[in-house]
Amino acid sequence: MWAEIGAKVMSNDAVVIIGAGQGGFQLAASLRSGGHTGPIDLVGAEFHLPYQRPPLSKEYLAGSMLADGLQLRGSTFFAEKRIRLHRADPVVAVDRRRSSVRMESGATLRYDHLVFATGARPRNLPVPGMNQRGVLSLRDIGDADKLAGLLGVPRRMVIVGGGFIGLELAAVARAGGHSVTVVEALDRTLARAVSPELSSHLETVHAERGTQLLLGRSVSALHGRSGRVAEVELDGGVRVPADVVVAGIGIVPNVELAAEAGLTVANGIVVDERLLTPDDRVSAIGDCACFPSSHARDRIVRLESVQNAVDQARFVAARILGSNQPRYDSVPWFWSHQFDVKIQMAGLPALDDRRMVLGDPGTGRFSVLRFDDGLLTCVESVGNPADHMAARKILGSGDTPTLESASQPGFTLKAFAKRGAEACAA
Ligand code: FAD
């Protein structure tokens, strides 16, 4: 139920949020700041106060950020905002007929709106020898603490998977003086996420810093001594010595609870353009949700980024508070830091795109523009925040340059974005 009081919308519905991570936290906070007066239960599986994950593979692992710096808010925030935070008490069942959830402790909560913000977990490396000491993945504070403990003395580290987390980890470990090998099954790093031009640039950066990149190679087994990993066996039988092995081969969305509750799941909990499941009292946001994106010609996508979790949370909060916005269409963006290289991406690439490069990768400052059917859909920027911000504006405006116009001498994203802004103002 909601009612308009003056300009402010007041809703006293009971909202239960499953998952107290980036998206769940933001939803609770946005509901309160938007005027929600009803109960908000934020139910988390972890003991920690809600925290941000990006520093786990960057500053926190490197030791330049402490645990306090990870927290999204201190404990007083939740009391002040009357957000009931349930820690280390995961939801184990959802009863949509009774509109209630049951937690591991046996407690039940009734809802008017239920939001899945359950995130994802690391994909297991399906090879023999995974369950030995020294083998881990990186998703939560506990993983990062374990890894930091292992990296307290010089180590030979093998990272399986040349994705963002693997490469960020490689950068921190190399900077800390460890020997690092990255094994990637495809023929380039970040193959599913970025252009060949950006992959190639990052591979050069990592190789120059002393990381060994083994591309087009897969891991077939892990061998150990006395229960501790000692070697990584690759296809063809070659063995790479290792004291620490990190599996960074992607994540699996936490959808089981939703599936058991009779909701549709595919590569995520399936929601529509308003982030609603077919049950109009149940939504899903963040890493666990897949939705039709206007930035991908309505293809169903599942995005793994802070921006996506936060913006989807804000959208759902506004909807619960009575907004009639027809669809979630925030421009997707993402960042990654590897050594001193700052990568920023805006938009989504098409599967079979055309590309052009603005600037010179040799200078460490450039952008890759990616086009779908002649229109700009994605910009990857390295060391160029101005291009990134301009790209976000352009992609959000719907007025995007064509490959032809962007290829004209003197073209810059900044000038194009300014032109669009001036046209709007006129
Ligand atoms: P999460 O933040 O993962 O929160 C989900 C929460 O739900 C978890 O705490 C989980 O324990 C809980 N949960 C699951 N099941 C239940 C249940 N049944 N009951 C209760 N609670 C449950 N993104 C970027 O944009 N830039 C980066 O540089 C970047 N770096 C990253 C580095 C690392 C190491 C990692 C792991 C992620 C990184 N990300 C980055 C991704 C980003 O952190 C995620 O996309 C974001 O956290 C997604 O938010 P979420 O709320 O969907 O999921």
Residues of CATH 3.30.390.30 domain(s) within the chain?
340-425
Averaged pLDDT, 148-168: 97
* 219 CA distance to ligand 1 middle (Å): 26
C-alpha 168, offset from chain centre: 14
* 22 CA distance to ligand 1 middle (Å): 6
C-alpha 227, offset from chain centre: 33
pLDDT, tens only, 374-420? 899 999 999 999 999 999 999 999 899 999 999 999 999 999 999 86
pLDDT of residue 421: 65
Verify whether ligand 1 is closer than 6 Å to residue 129 (CB atom): no
Coil, strand or helix: which one is 28?
A: helix
Verify whether ligand 1 is closer than 6 Å to residue 303 (CB atom): no
For residues 401 and 418, the answer to whether their CB atoms sit within 8 Å is no
What percent of the chain shows pLDDT beyond 90? 93
Averaged pLDDT, 112-126: 97
| Mean pLDDT over each residue of the chain, to the nearest integer | 95
Going by pLDDT thresholds of 50, 70 and 90, the confidence category of residue 426 is: low
For residues 397 and 374, the answer to whether their CB atoms sit within 8 Å is no
- Fold for the domain defined by 124-249: FAD/NAD(P)-binding domain (3.50.50)
Nearest CA to ligand 1 atom 46: 306
Verify whether ligand 1 is closer than 6 Å to residue 339 (CB atom): no
Q: CA 231 to CA 36: how far, in whole Å?
A: 55
Please, what sign has the CA dihedral across residues 42, 44, 48, 54? negative
Averaged pLDDT, 368-379: 95
Based on the number of CB atoms within 10 Å of its own CB, is 249 exposed (0-12), middle (13-18) or buried (19 or more)? Answer: buried
Residues of CATH 3.50.50.60 domain(s) within the chain?
15-121+252-320, 124-249
Which DSSP string corresponds to 252-284?
EE--HHHHHTT--EESEEE--TTSB-SSTTEEE
Q: Comparing C-alpha atoms, which of 74, 75, 76, 56 is closest to residue 66?
A: 56
pLDDT of residue 425: 59
Verify whether ligand 1 is closer than 6 Å to residue 119 (CB atom): yes
Going by pLDDT thresholds of 50, 70 and 90, the confidence category of residue 423 is: low
Percent of the chain that is helix, strand, coil (3-state, to 5): 30, 30, 40
* 53 CA distance to ligand 1 middle (Å): 6
* 248 CA distance to ligand 1 middle (Å): 15
* 51 CA distance to ligand 1 middle (Å): 9
Nearest CA to ligand 1 atom 19: 90
State if pTM tops 0.75: yes
Based on the number of CB atoms within 10 Å of its own CB, is 122 exposed (0-12), middle (13-18) or buried (19 or more)? Answer: buried
Amino acid identity at 244: V
Contacts of 195 (CB under 8 A, 6+ apart): 349, 353, 355, 368, 370, 380
> Which DSSP symbol is given to 55?
G
Q: CA 137 to CA 56: how far, in whole Å?
A: 12
For residues 230 and 239, the answer to whether their CB atoms sit within 8 Å is no
pLDDT, tens only, 1-28? 444 444 444 578 999 999 999 999 999 9
Coil, strand or helix: which one is 83?
A: strand
311: left (phi over 0), alpha (psi -120 to 50) or beta: alpha
Verify whether ligand 1 is closer than 6 Å to residue 312 (CB atom): no
Averaged pLDDT, 176-201: 97
Verify whether ligand 1 is closer than 6 Å to residue 56 (CB atom): yes
Verify whether ligand 1 is closer than 6 Å to residue 233 (CB atom): no
pLDDT, tens only, 203-262? 999 999 999 999 999 999 999 999 999 999 999 999 999 999 999 999 999 999 999 999
pLDDT of residue 7: 40
Q: Which two tokens stand for residue 293?
A: 């994106």
15-121+252-320 belongs to which homologous superfamily? Answer: FAD/NAD(P)-binding domain (3.50.50.60)
* 162 CA distance to ligand 1 middle (Å): 19
- Fold for the domain defined by 340-425: Enolase-like; domain 1 (3.30.390)
The ligand 1 atom at the shortest distance from the C-alpha of residue 56 is 34
pLDDT over 60 (residue 175): yes
Contacts of 324 (CB under 8 A, 6+ apart): none
Nearest CA to ligand 1 atom 5: 119
pLDDT, tens only, 90-99? 999 999 999 9
pLDDT of residue 419: 81
The ligand 1 atom at the shortest distance from the C-alpha of residue 257 is 18
The ligand 1 atom at the shortest distance from the C-alpha of residue 92 is 18
Verify whether ligand 1 is closer than 6 Å to residue 268 (CB atom): no
Verify whether ligand 1 is closer than 6 Å to residue 43 (CB atom): yes
For residues 46 and 356, the answer to whether their CB atoms sit within 8 Å is no
Q: Which two tokens stand for residue 66?
A: 């402490």
Please, what sign has the CA dihedral across residues 202, 357, 396, 329? negative
pLDDT, tens only, 296-344? 999 999 999 999 999 999 999 999 999 999 999 999 999 999 999 999 9
pLDDT of residue 218: 97
Verify whether ligand 1 is closer than 6 Å to residue 57 (CB atom): yes
Nearest CA to ligand 1 atom 43: 53
Verify whether ligand 1 is closer than 6 Å to residue 163 (CB atom): no
